[in-house]
Structure 1
Amino acid sequence: MKLLLALMLFMTFFAHAADPEPGSQYLQAAEAGDRRAQYFLADSWLSYGDLNKAEYWAQKAADSGDADACALLAQIKIT
Structure 2
Amino acid sequence: MARSWEADPSALFLRGLGKSAKELDHSDGRDECPEIWQLDNGDIAVIGRDLTAAYRSRLPEGVSFAPGIADV
TM-score, length-normalised on structure 1? 0.26
- Per residue, is there more strand in 1 or in 2? 2
Larger Rg: 1
- Which structure has greater helix proportion? 1
